[in-house]
Amino acid sequence: MVSLQAGQGALVNAQSRVGSPITLPQAPDLRALPDLHDRPVVTLNLPPVADASLYRAQAALDAEFTQVMAEATSPTPTLRLTGLPDGPYHLRVRVAQAQGLEGPDGKRTFVLKARPEPPNLVNPGPDAKHRGLGIPLHWTEPPEASRYRLQISQNGQWQRPVVDLPAITSSTWHQSLPPGTYQWRLASVRANGDAGPFGDARSFTLLPPPADLPPPQVTEQHLQFSWPAEPGQTFELQMARDDAFTLAVTTVKSTQPQVQVDRPQPGGRWWVRTRATDADGYVGPYSTPQVLHLPSCAIDRQGDCLRSGDGQMLRSR
């Protein structure tokens, strides 16, 4: 006969022979686990137990564990319980040592409130950049949601969000915001007012809108454009006969915030715009098209404008 003390166990072989006493693992400490879980998959991040070969967790409706609703095992101290409806639960976790003997239970209670589930964020993507005064937000529409709560913060300050709208009925939102880096998140709300948890936040950065293109320096043969820029940018300038940039389009690319183009003949009304590509590859929007009025002139054989004796440019008829 083998005498066992508290905290010990023994293995019995096929011939019913009892092995030597084995010290059982201690009950895991569950005090650091949250009281509230807000995701359908309940993730338990346990403190590691020395010499553990297996962790086992059970969630039940009653303290006696006669109504076990979910069970999970793992060789690591991270376990995931799935398939649980929202509500209160009793949790117990035990650890097995190398030979498979399980120690005593660690116990506690928790509440699962994961529904209605939050929408999935669609646009903008993670860590997106946008050059302008605002950025359109778009998300999916979970079947249980009749409206949504939107929060936008800076530096993760959710206690004092920049935007907090509790009852958006569409799956899009677009308003002006000053330049900066923001985080946004959403929660679903049922028709009866029952609100689910916020989903994971996503970050985006708003950059100042592109500056208007200053008027160029105009000579008889060239137009010299220059504009403000940021370090590391490259540029594209377009010039066209129409504001949709479909007629007589000239496109010039440059590594500097200045471009010289041949003066178009004939003159008249032209539209010009620029856009910049940042050092990280982000291609910004075009600047607001600017109208450029160029007087027409009579041209000599070298392509220069003819002038009168007093130096005035002769216009073509």
203 and 221 in a common domain:
no
What's the confidence (pLDDT) of residue 22? Answer: 64
85 and 131 in a common domain:
no
CB atoms within 10 A of CB 272: 22
Please tell me the distance from the alpha carbon of residue 186 to that of residue 182, in angstroms, as a whole number: 14
Q: Which residue, chain included where needed, has tokens 């590509």? A: 277
Q: Are strands 202-207 and 128-131 parallel, antiparallel or unpaired?
A: parallel
Find all residues with CB under 8 Å of 213, minimum gap 6, and list them.
225, 227, 272, 273, 274, 287, 290
What's the confidence (pLDDT) of residue 12? Answer: 54
Residue 149: inside a domain: yes
The CATH number assigned to the domain holding 49 equals 2.60.40.10
What's the confidence (pLDDT) of residue 158? Answer: 97
Residue 55: inside a domain: yes
Residue 299: inside a domain: no
Residue 262: inside a domain: yes
What's the confidence (pLDDT) of residue 51? Answer: 83
pTM above 0.85, yes or no: no
265 and 192 in a common domain:
no
- Give residue 77's region: left, alpha or beta (phi > 0; psi -120 to 50): alpha
What's the confidence (pLDDT) of residue 265? Answer: 76
Q: 116 preceded by cis ω (within 30°)?
A: yes
Q: Cα torsion at 34, 40, 45, 46 (round to 10°)?
A: 80
Query: What is the length of the chain?
Result: 317
Which domain, by its residues, includes 262? 217-294
Radius of gyration of the chain (CA): 35
201 and 221 in a common domain:
no
Residue 277: inside a domain: yes
* Cα torsion 11, 14, 16, 17: sign: negative
Which parts of the chain sit beneath pLDDT 50? 9-10, 303, 308-309, 311-317
Residue 16: inside a domain: no
- Tokens in use for 29? 């400490």
Decide if 188 contacts 121 (C-beta within 8 A): no
Decide if 80 contacts 44 (C-beta within 8 A): yes
193 and 139 in a common domain:
yes
149 and 70 in a common domain:
no
Decide if 159 contacts 129 (C-beta within 8 A): no
* Cα torsion 75, 80, 81, 87: sign: positive
Give per-residue pLDDT as tens, 56-82.
999 999 999 999 999 999 999 999 999
Number of domains in the chain: 3
Q: Which residue, chain included where needed, has tokens 């609100």? A: 195
Decide if 234 contacts 276 (C-beta within 8 A): yes
